[in-house]
Chain A
């Protein structure tokens, strides 16, 4: 009797266990990751984001998954090419049936496929691409499915300009940007925000993104009397501008964007010169112990981790998504998107997100989350403070 019931129990438990494993597999929550990881110069950012994406999923699964279900990441490389990125998006949503997507790295690729998740009602969090328009295209729709946790171009500029206006003694500020869409957009944003402060740049110069000598442009900037220069370019272009400054012995207050967080920058300029640049950052490896830990985890897969903020932003994007799914009690796209606009108290690497999104604001980070930083010893990026940074108030951050 006893034996029989014991056997029955074992069989029942075993049967239940198998059943539940089968059911769990069928109900895994899939999240897609779509970004350049091999082709263009942006690939480094995509790779940093990818491994942090996987780390976040690992952490979520360790704590029992989302809604008690296991989370599976589906990673796709878009090769930096819009057609491939569009194809990946369709495949992730239609064949892989992902519940949400994290990506991409290139703003151009995002703009190429935004309509797909928007039409199919799949929430997207952009962890890297900074183009100002990305979250705005569907802002007037009943539900905008595009969110972002990254440094938006215009928000960075707001901080850089606020500092420039305070630090410049003569109010003679110059802008130099690369000739790509990124640099040109930056020049436009910077000029507009300077105008809000009542300042007209004394010189606006351009350089090719592969140029190695910007002395002629810098000579013109110096002739115009500028004592503060804002550089809009990625790490190697910015490094070449600083090298050229050194060549003509010109040392104005120099400001740059987060692109120069790449370790390529100090390796190209050398330690001493790298410390001349003040840049905008969302986070640095040294900002808290969790950040350090994430950086170490990403480095096991990608030893030359360059832009850490991409990793942190990608990690936080997954965490926000998980929180929204828990809040919605489902992975249904429209409900998750709605929940994203309500989530609060989500612990991320960069900060604790208290109601980061709303119906009208889909930017998880804004100028108030950014700070100025500098390279130190050519190895780490540390927070930078001086009398001017301390005097910046919310009213100075015009945008």
Chain B
């Protein structure tokens, strides 16, 4: 009798554990998909120009705020009011998504011509500083327009918790995961199966050969920056209902995404995605054990990966021929 009670207690405790792990896995996947989106952005421009946007976090911020303002505009509230849950319908959210992709994509064009193109090919690392600088300009412009306060963006799917076997998820977390995976699959398909994708990969392999094959290389490069920036903007729009839109939200997210890209292999899009999900899961599962060890474990993992596989998990090993 007593034993049964004890066993019941143990099975109850292990059930609680399972639910906690389930919960952590899910929130890890949701956050990981955001890292994956931004990491993919790093990969696309790296492959085509061997540069990437160090201000990617600020593009994410821009995406979140453009989306909030778009939603405010669509609900007739001016540019800087407060959104209430009924203002954010699914159709408005989708419209805001289009707006974000267009606006942040255009910012990507400006970034390329102002901060990357002048330095491409030069042996210097000037583009590192110029992209960081461009990011700071965006961040401070956002600060001027929207101010320091965080803005709340309600989720288009409401905030009623979805319960699955004792664990609870926010509808927005499900949305983030679903949209990210769709976009990732879509991009993967474009890269492997379409002419544009082939052009992108050709430029990545050899610019000169691509030119000889009649590919408009500069157009492909601009496209790469547009896609990369839009991905960051999209990540901002997706994460904002979970975190709130804040001028200061970009840096830590972009840093983790960059880490994800390095872990997975900066030159391999699938590697970047893997890195993103891996990082998200690792963070969440370590959090179950000791919350304050999360950041330490993430960056420890990067160091270990870099020592064991310097090119990243799925990266291509560069063999120097003598």
Give the B-binding residues of A (Cβ under 8 A). Answer: 38-41, 43-44, 179, 205-208, 210-217, 219, 223, 236, 243, 246-249, 264, 267-268, 270, 304, 306
Interface string of B138-162 (1 = CB under 8 A from A): 0000010001111010000001010
B148: chain A residues at CB < 8 Å are 38-41, 43-44
- Cβ contacts under 8 Å, A249 to chain B: 161, 163, 166, 168
Q: Is A205 a contact of B85 with CB atoms below 8 Å?
A: no
The residue on B at minimum CB distance from A39 is B148
Nearest chain B CB to A311's CB is how many angstroms away? 15
Across the interface, name the chain A residue whose C-beta is closest to B85.
A270
- Contact A247 to B23, CB < 8 A, known contacts A212-B31, A212-B243: yes
Whether A248 contacts B167 by the Cβ 8 Å rule is: yes
Choose among B150, B294, B295 the residue that contacts A236 (Cβ–Cβ < 8 A).
Answer: B150
> Assuming the A-B contacts A247-B169, A248-B23, A248-B168, are A208 and B294 also in contact, with contact meaning beta carbons closer than 8 angstroms in the complex?
yes
A213 CA / B22 CA spacing, docked (Å): 13
Q: Does B110 contact A (CB under 8 A)?
A: no
* B310 proximal to A (CB < 8 A): no
Identify the closest chain B residue to A46 (Cβ). B148
Question: B291 contacts A38, CB within 8 Å?
Answer: no
Evaluate contact between A206 and B292: CB separation under 8 angstroms.
yes
Chain A residues whose CB sits within 8 angstroms of the CB of B159 once the complex forms: 270
Question: Closest 5 interchain pairs by CB?
Answer: A247-B168, A43-B148, A267-B152, A213-B27, A216-B288
Q: Which residues of A contact B27 (CB under 8 A)?
A: 212-213, 215
Kindly state the separation between the CA atoms of A346 and B245 in the bound complex, as whole angstroms.
Answer: 41
Q: Which listed residue, A39, A248, A270, A306, touches B149 by the CB 8 Å rule?
A: A306
B287 & A247 in contact (Cβ 8 Å cutoff): no
- Please determine whether B249 and A210 come into contact, CB atoms closer than 8 angstroms: yes
Assign chain B's interface to a size class: 35 or more
* Beta-carbon nearest neighbor of B239 in chain A: A212
Is B206 an interface residue when CB atoms closer than 8 A count as contact?
no
**Residues of chain A with a CB closer than 8 A to B125's CB:** none
B211 within 8 A of A: no
What residues of B have a CB within 8 angstroms of the CB of A243 in the complex? 170
Instruction: Give chain B nearest CB distance to A84 CB in angstroms.
Output: 15
Report the bound CA distance from A223 to B15 in whole Å. Answer: 12
Give me 18 A-to-B residue pairs in the complex whose CB atoms sit less than 8 angstroms apart, sorted by A's number.
A40-B148, A40-B248, A41-B248, A43-B148, A205-B291, A206-B291, A208-B291, A213-B23, A213-B287, A215-B24, A215-B168, A219-B16, A247-B168, A248-B19, A248-B168, A267-B82, A268-B152, A304-B147
Distance (Å) between the CB of A218 and the closest chain B CB?
9
Q: In the bound complex, how far is the Cα of B290 from the Cα of A179, in angstroms?
A: 12
Output the nearest chain B residue to A272 by Cβ-Cβ distance: B159
| Known A206-B292, A217-B291: A268·B24 in contact at CB below 8 Å | no
- Distance in angstroms between the alpha carbons of A216 and B20 in the assembled complex: 6
Chain B residues contacting A247 (CB-CB under 8 Å) are 23, 161, 167-170
Q: What residues of chain A lie closer than 8 Å to B13, measured between beta carbons?
A: 223
* Residues of the B chain whose Cβ atoms lie less than 8 Å from the Cβ of A44: 148-149
Instruction: State whether B23 touches A215 (Cβ < 8 A).
Output: yes
Chain B residue contacts of A267, Cβ below 8 A:
82, 152
A341 to B31, CA, bound (A): 53
> Are the C-beta atoms of A207 and B291 separated by less than 8 Å?
yes
Contact B170 A236 (CB under 8 A): no
Nearest Cβ distance between residue B78 and chain A, in whole angstroms?
11
- Most chain A beta-carbon contacts within 10 A, residue among B19, B23, B291: B291
Bound CA span A109–B219, Å? 50
Other CB < 8 Å A-B pairs besides A216-B20, A216-B288, A236-B244, 12 of them? Answer: A40-B248, A41-B148, A41-B248, A179-B291, A179-B292, A206-B292, A212-B27, A213-B27, A216-B287, A219-B288, A223-B16, A247-B168
CB distance from B148 to the nearest CB of A (A): 4
Cα distance A211–B248 when bound, in Å?
Answer: 13
Pair B242/A212 contact, Cβ less than 8 Å: yes
User: What is the chain B residue whose CB lies nearest that of A264?
Assistant: B150
B169 cross-chain contacts in A, Cβ below 8 A:
247
Q: How far is the CA of A179 from the CA of B20 in the complex (A)?
A: 22
A279 to nearest B CB, angstroms?
18
Report the minimal beta-carbon distance from A44 to chain B, rounded to whole angstroms: 5
Bound complex: CA of A264 vs CA of B153, how far in Å? 11
Smallest CB separation, B287 vs chain A (Å): 5
Give Cα distance in the complex from A25 to B52, angstroms.
57
- Is there an interface contact between A246 and B23, defined as CB atoms closer than 8 Å? no
Return A50 CB to nearest CB of chain B, in Å: 13
How far apart are B257's CB and chain A's nearest CB, in angstroms? 14
Asked if A268 contacts B20 (CB within 8 A), the reply is no
Nearest B-chain residue to A42, judged by Cβ? B148
Residue B91 lies at the interface, judged by CB distance under 8 Å to chain A:
no
B284 at the interface (CB under 8 A from A): yes
Question: Any chain A CB within 8 A of the CB of B124?
Answer: no
Bound-state CA distance A43–B150 (Å) is 11
Neighbouring B residues of A39 by C-beta, 8 Å: 143, 148
- 8 Å CB interface, B104-118 against A: none
CA distance A38 to B139 in the complex (A): 12
Q: How far is the CB of B229 from chain A (nearest CB, A)?
A: 23
B-chain residues with CB within 8 Å of residue A246 when the two chains form the complex: 161, 168
Out of B16, B82, B284, name the residue touching A213 (CB < 8 Å).
B284
A289-B161 Cα distance, complex, nearest whole Å: 39
Chain B residues with Cβ below 8 Å from A211 are 291
Q: Is B123 an interface residue (CB 8 A)?
A: no
Q: Is the CB of A264 within 8 A of B244?
A: yes
Interface residues of B in 1-52 (CB under 8 A from A): 13, 16, 19-20, 23-24, 27, 31
Q: Which chain A residues lie closer than 8 Å to B284 at the CB level? A: 213, 216
Least Cβ–Cβ distance between B35 and chain A, in angstroms:
13
Query: In the assembled complex, which residues on chain A have CB atoms less than 8 Å from the CB atom of B161?
Result: 246-247, 249
CA distance A73 to B183 in the complex (A): 54
A208: which B residues are within 8 A, CB to CB? 291, 294-295
Nearest Cβ distance between residue B143 and chain A, in whole angstroms? Answer: 7
Question: Which residues of chain A are within 8 angstroms of B252 by Cβ–Cβ distance?
Answer: 210
B-side contacts of A213, CB under 8 Å: 23-24, 27, 31, 284, 287
With A and B bound together, what is the CA distance between A236 and B292 in angstroms?
18
Q: Return the contact of B243 from the options A40, A210, A216 (Cβ within 8 A).
A: A210
Contact A216 to B85, CB < 8 A, known contacts A38-B148, A43-B148, A264-B149: no
Q: Shortest beta-carbon distance, A261 to chain B, in Å? A: 14
Q: Which residues of A contact B292 (CB under 8 A)?
A: 179, 206
Contacts of B243 in A (CB 8 A): 210, 212, 236
Within the complex, what minimum Cβ distance (angstroms) separates B249 from chain A? 7
